[in-house]
Amino acid sequence: MTEATQSPVTASPSSLEKKATASTLSRLAKYTLVKILTLGVTIVIGVYLTIIIANMGGEVDNIRRGEIRERVALMVSMNQDLRRLPAEERAKYINDMVKIEEDRLGLDRPFILRSFTYLTDAMSLNLGRAQFLTSDSGSKQVRLIILERLPPTLVLFGTANILLFFFALFIALGLSRHYGSFLDRLVIALAPTSAAPGWFYGIFLILIFAAVLNVLPYGGMVDAPVPDTTIGYALSLLKHMILPTLAIFLSSIFITIYSWRTFFLIFSSEDYVEMAKAKGLSSQMIERRYILRPTMPNIITNFALLIIGLWFGAIILETVFNWPGLGRLFYRAIGLFDTPVIVGETVIYAYLLAITVFLLDFIYALVDPRVKVGGEGPKA
């Protein structure tokens, strides 16, 4: 506020501000729209590639054929007249029906054409039926199975990522101001430990806190039997979340602090920071306005890459901790060779990644002064 209001103004300050807000909003809206469109195209291409890879061995075709056969068989068994037919005739009838259905749905068409049908199916989350796995509510719909497993994953990774972001931000900012101190050098020395993924730390954490000290559970999401009260449930959930969250946190915190601290150091050697110091601004003000602000876009890009890495780490982390999320589902699907679930999950992961990238891009737009104030948008 201080500099802006002190500068001489010709128009009335309030109308100028309003105008600025309006143009910022429209710029944001435009930026968001462009981002959504590009990401939409990106997702389509990503999912399409996934389908192509999945169908190189004809697996998606098999999923579809299995579905058609099941539907036809069910229809025949429901029909009184058809049920009375001798077994051979009935089998022949079913085969004919399956053939007709397959032709109708275009399974006899070349793969290039079919792949677009699969693409629209996948994009609309019409992921087919699982071969072995069922959702807790008993459904075999891959979509339902996956949706049921989504909340635990989001809870765990949301918590861990938020903790990671804020801890890393404040510690990095603090360290950059005490550059060269013991703590600073300690963090640099510890940065290489982030080469190991979260599940790896998870194993050690389970060993220490569950196996040796026996203070925290080995895995799972809540105690068995499940507590009746909401508070009891929440406490039990918290207790089970400590170790996996800690594992994610430990695996990324040092490298994140290290790289963000480097960003801060680069920006705090800029001339305008020296200028602000010379003007006698408080160090808090300098940090917020002149260091944190211009660094934010870099930090958010860095964080986006980090989260993308963590999403994949999730698959194994959840397996190690028996966390009933998407990753654990993936692991079970691999064990059972449940192809529809594996393909479906890959599609879902493509979506999740895209949403993550989009959200972070949006925040990027909010904090990046170039999007907010300047004419030229950032080239992402």
Partner 1 sequence: MNALKNTFRDISQYPSAVLGLVIIVLLVIFAVYAVVTIPYNEAIRMWRGGEEIWGDYPRNAAPAWTNWFSAKKLPETIILTTDDERVKKEIQTVGSNQEVIMHYVFDYPYDDFPQEMIIFFTSKYDVKQPHITMKWVTPDGRELRMSQMSVRRSDQYRFELDERLKRRIKDMTIIQGLFATPDVMPPTIQKGQYELQISALLFEPNAEVDAKLVIYGKVHGLAGTDHLRRDLMVAMLWGAPIALSFGILAALGTSVLSMIIAAVGSWFGGAVDEVIQRITEVNLVLPVLPILIMIGTLYSRSIWVILGAVVALSIFSSSIKTFRAIFLQIKEAPYIEAARSYGAGNLRIIFSYLIPRLIPVLIPGFVIGIPSYVFLEASLAVLGLGDPVLPTWGKVINDAQAQGALFNGHYYWVLQPAVLLMITGLAFSMLGFALDRIFNPRLRGV
- Closest contact distance (angstroms) between CB of 62 and partner 1 is 10
Q: Applying CB under 8 A, does 123 fall inside the site for partner 1?
A: no
Q: Applying CB under 8 A, does 153 fall inside the site for partner 1?
A: no
Stretch that binds partner 1, among 166-174, 203-211, 240-248, 366-374 (CB under 8 A): 203-211
The span from the CA of 346 to the CA of 60, in Å, is 13
Tell me which residues in 328-357 interact with partner 1 (CB under 8 A). Answer: 330-331, 334-335, 337, 339, 342-343, 345-346, 349-350, 353-354, 357
The span from the CA of 97 to the CA of 68, in Å, is 9
For partner 1, give the closer residue by CB, 29 or 196: 196
Q: Applying CB under 8 A, does 257 fall inside the site for partner 1?
A: no
Percent composition of the chain: helix, strand, coil (DSSP 3-state, to 5)? 80, 0, 20
Q: Applying CB under 8 A, does 272 fall inside the site for partner 1?
A: no
Judged by CB under 8 A, the residue of 16, 36, 91, 189 near partner 1 is 189
Q: Which two tokens stand for residue 42?
A: 């990106």
Q: Applying CB under 8 A, does 119 fall inside the site for partner 1?
A: no
The span from the CA of 58 to the CA of 113, in Å, is 14
The span from the CA of 265 to the CA of 276, in Å, is 16
Q: Which two tokens stand for residue 225?
A: 């039997």
| Phi-psi region at 262: left, alpha or beta (left = phi > 0; alpha = psi -120 to 50) | alpha
CA 258 to chain centre: 23
Q: Say if CB 340 and CB 128 are below 8 A apart.
A: yes
Q: Helix, strand or coil for residue 8?
A: coil
Q: How many Cα atoms occupy the beta-carbon half-sphere of 367 within 13 Å?
A: 18
The contact pattern for partner 1, residues 292-331, with x = CB under 8 A and - = no contact, is -------------x--x--xxx-xx--xx---------xx
Tell me which residues in 7-46 interact with partner 1 (CB under 8 A). Answer: 38-39, 42-43, 45-46
The contact pattern for partner 1, residues 42-71, with x = CB under 8 A and - = no contact, is xx-xx--xx--xx-xx-x------------
- Closest contact distance (angstroms) between CB of 279 and partner 1 is 25
The span from the CA of 142 to the CA of 341, in Å, is 6
Torsion, CA 114, CA 120, CA 125, CA 126, rounded to 10: -50
Binding region for partner 1 (CB under 8 A): 38-39, 42-43, 45-46, 49-50, 53-54, 56-57, 59, 179, 188-189, 191-197, 199-200, 203-204, 206-207, 210-211, 218, 262, 265-266, 305, 308, 311-313, 315-316, 319-320, 330-331, 334-335, 337, 339, 342-343, 345-346, 349-350, 353-354, 357, 380
